[in-house]
Amino acid sequence: MTTLITGGAGYIGSITTRLIRSTGRAVVVLDTLENGHRTAVGDAPFVQGDVADTELVERICKEHGVDEVVHFAAYKAVGESMENPSKYFQNNVTGSQKLFDALHRAGVERVVFSSTAGVYGTPDTVPVREDAEPRCESVYAETKLMIEKTLSWYSRTTSMRHVCLRYFNAAGASSDATLGEDWRFSQNLIPHVMKAAMGHAPALKVFGNDFPTPDGTGVRDYIHVEDLASAHVAALDHLAGKGASITCNVGTGFGTSVMDIINTTEQVTGQKVPYEIVGRRAGDPAACYADPSLITKTFGWSPTRSLEDIIATAYAWHSTHPAGHDS
């Protein structure tokens, strides 16, 4: 069994690639290296290229005997998507459609797609379930929802089946501190907390402390990246076992505030996290966390790592790789 992993040189992609290989599957990674790192792939078979290159995708599928695909490749900066929507629609949506078309022609029928909880926008209630009405508040989120819908139509009109995984907040690094997120380019909270704690940046900006939450700061669902990787393996196993197409949340089911992150970082690392309170950002919900019961029921998957594990692995990675994989 061979798994094609698009975007497999990125943060989540590289850690998932390593775990998929450990299950005995052969892999081949396709990545433009625009935002990924060749060193993160290690000795896995690697092709530098774009998912929109249909001839390349078909050739990879034929040469490597591809049976299944995990599709990570996408632009994901929310702010940039609002400033340059055409870049996101062309790369994320059109690129994915071309990928699926090439896979269909190559006879590949199983796809696991990296989606986002961003499709929920500001939910009416939490924890949020998969049947909540999508309310995309960014072009990025809308592109992910459009790709989900594209896969849904492929599953209705062809033999292709899929699992769409709606991630909440991926965080942490590999347990051995060899793979992680590059804080120079990350939009995520925990790398910025680490940068402030280690003195590589000024005080952390906390966007709002007047939300209707226990401590006034925004509440999110932080899931360890290795737990997230294991959800992809569970999804691949589901499809390999003739499972039906499905869309699942991937989260812990627990809300963690910005101040919880700061306090836990100080406790785990022994480093003070300087911060300042600034105004809320437009569109930030007070709280958004998952109801993960569907993925647990369907795949038998549940997260095993704690917030302390997230902070400890992130600290170990960032303290030894201040320039990411270029360190």
Whether residue 315 contacts residue 269, with contact meaning beta carbons closer than 8 Å, is answered with yes
How far, in Å, CA of 307 to CA of 316, rounded? 14
Residues 6+ apart with CB under 8 A from 268: 308, 311, 312, 315
Map tokens 């201040």 to a residue.
322
Alpha-carbon span 97 to 86, nearest angstrom: 15
Q: Catalytic residue, from 11, 75, 88, 140: name it.
A: 140
Instruction: Say if strands 169-171 and 256-257 run parallel, antiparallel, or are unpaired.
Output: unpaired
Q: What's the distance, CA 156 to chain centroid?
A: 26
Q: Which helix (H) or strand (E) holds 207?
A: strand 204-207
Q: Which of 220, 14, 204, 43 is nearest to 116 (CA)?
A: 220
The radius of gyration computed from the CA coordinates of the chain, to the nearest angstrom, equals 19
CA-nearest of 199, 321, 215 to 272 is: 199
Q: Are strands 256-257 and 219-220 parallel, antiparallel or unpaired?
A: antiparallel
SS3 166: strand
The question of whether 140 is a catalytic residue gets the answer: yes
3-state helix, strand, coil in the chain (%, to 5): 45, 20, 40
What distance in Å separates the CA atoms of residue 186 and residue 314, rounded to the nearest whole number? 13
Known catalytic residues are: 140
